[in-house]
Amino acid sequence: VADELITNALMHTEGAAVVTLRVLSGTDRRLRVEVEDSSSALPRRREPGEQGVSGRGLLLVDRLTDVWGVEARGGGKCMWCEFVVPERG
């Protein structure tokens, strides 16, 4: 999932991307992945069709994460996703 967010930032925007990983605590412990870029253009889901070789990225992010979203940051945006980390024991 991180690879998909990073690849999207590098392929669909001008410039670099900043990747941040952090563990969030609260009612659930979660791993948060953030990929920030300098483009204000929001990502959009595409329907690639059966023979399409691209366009499934956000579908994968949606299916593999517990929650994800996009937020404006300065002149750009941050795509983020979270995974609930099960307690050991």
20: its two tokens? 């941040």
Q: 42-63 pLDDT, tens per residue?
A: 887 666 666 655 667 888 899 9
User: Domain of 23?
Assistant: 2-84
Residue showing tokens 């929650």: 67
Residue 75 lies in a domain: yes
Cα–Cα distance measured from residue 44 to residue 30, given in angstroms and rounded to the nearest whole number: 25
**What's this model's pTM, rounded to 2 decimal places?**
0.83
Assign 83 a pLDDT band (cuts: 50, 70, 90).
very high
pLDDT of residue 76: 93
Reduce the DSSP state of residue 64 to 3 states and report it.
Answer: helix
52 located within any domain: yes
Confidence at residue 51, expressed as pLDDT on a 0 to 100 scale: 64
User: What value does the mean pLDDT of the chain take?
Assistant: 87
Q: Is the per-residue pLDDT at 89 higher than 70?
A: no
Domain of 43, CATH number, reads: 3.30.565.10
Q: What is the DSSP string of 17-56?
A: -EEEEEEE-SSS-EEEEEEEES--PPP------TT-SS--
Q: Is residue 89 part of a domain?
A: no
The total domain count for the chain is 1
Percent of the chain at pLDDT above 70? Answer: 87
Q: Is the dihedral of CA 48, 51, 57, 62 positive or negative?
A: positive
